[in-house]
Structure 1
């Protein structure tokens, strides 16, 4: 281990050791959008006549730094945006997969709506490492044929000491009009 690395580790231990303030559940603000999804439910039969699509979104709940053994956990905010002024979009599935492709969870059990010009969010907490370095989402959605597709984005961030990391990913539409 180099002298520079030793100094960094000592510095990191001192900084982390000096943090006495504990964060409790009451200090954490509930994720926007997720808490009110029960109020957004729609019936599947209302969606049968709509066009459908699927979007893939990369999400990293941790990244490697320096070596394969050193990882930094990341918090992630997934934004689901409706860019239409007058038309609603419907989300029928939001499946979160971990690096090896195993399903971690589906955030949408029944179809929900995203109102015109609205953004709803899913938050993956920094301490939630289930997804790993190659996590991803697969979204299924429905809309009127002539309107814009939904937009899916993810902002990931973390900090260690005085270093901060942030980057974003954008969804890729895979197919439209799924049978």
Structure 2
């Protein structure tokens, strides 16, 4: 059994309280910083489409795990992630997946997981990711949602990428 499916099986057995992973593993690549240390930065927002399920036909849904991936593609500079919020099809906020302000090291990635059995987001679920642009030379992160699920013996997976919401602005 490949690692992706092992991970999906593991997540489907978690307790209800663990369905939404509020904060990723912290370590040398992703750590809490003081909000005061980022004064004067520009606030940039990314919209990321996601799907907690898709329809095979009108009355048949396939639940999907959603993996939100934030990748710092800048080889030299940290980026600062200040918000990761999850919304449902109606635009209602389901949860804040990040508490605090975090620095993401160059060329590193942080991931958040919405369990396959958590279908409250709907077919129009989405995320808003805010990050702080500290310097004009900093590259924007690559933010993607990877959805994966299965029905019977058939598996499916696909991705969606973020789009910038407006322009970066002063906080």
TM-score grouping bracket, smaller chain normalisation? 0.7 to 0.9
Work out which of the two has the higher radius of gyration on C-alpha atoms and give 1 or 2: 1
Which residue is 2:167 aligned to?
176
CA distance in 2, matches of 1:106, 1:25: 19
In the superposition, the TM-score normalised over structure 2's length comes to: 0.81
Q: Alignment partner for residue 87 of structure 1, among 71, 77, 82?
A: 77
In the superposition, the TM-score normalised over structure 1's length comes to: 0.78
1:142 aligned onto 2:132: yes
SS in 1 for 2:169: coil
Q: CA offset at residue 155 of structure 1?
A: 0.9
Write the deviation string for residues 119-163 of structure 1: whole angstroms up to 9, x where unpaired: 000011101112111000011111222121011011111111121
The 5 A counterparts of 1:18-97 are 24-25=13-14, 34-36=24-26, 40-67=31-58, 69-97=59-87
- Deviating more after overlay: 52-61 vs 158-167: 158-167
**CA gap 1:87/1:123 in 2 versus in 1, 3 angstroms:** same
CA distance in 1, matches of 2:168, 2:101: 17
SS in 2 for 1:101: coil
SS in 2 for 1:40: strand
Q: Which runs of 5+ in 2 are unaligned?
A: 1-11
Q: CA offset at residue 36 of structure 1?
A: 2.1
CA distance in 2, matches of 1:142, 1:44: 11
CA distance in 2, matches of 1:76, 1:47: 30
- 1:55/1:173 contact within 8 Å kept: yes
Which stretches of structure 1, 4 residues or longer, exceed 6 Å deviation after superposition? none
- 2:46/2:165 contact within 8 Å kept: yes
- 1:56/1:173 contact within 8 Å kept: yes
CA distance in 2, matches of 1:176, 1:148: 14
Q: CA offset at residue 48 of structure 1?
A: 1.3
- 1:97/1:104 contact within 8 Å kept: yes
Over the residues paired in the alignment, what is the CA RMSD in angstroms?
Answer: 2.1
Q: Which runs of 5+ in 1 are unaligned?
A: 1-22
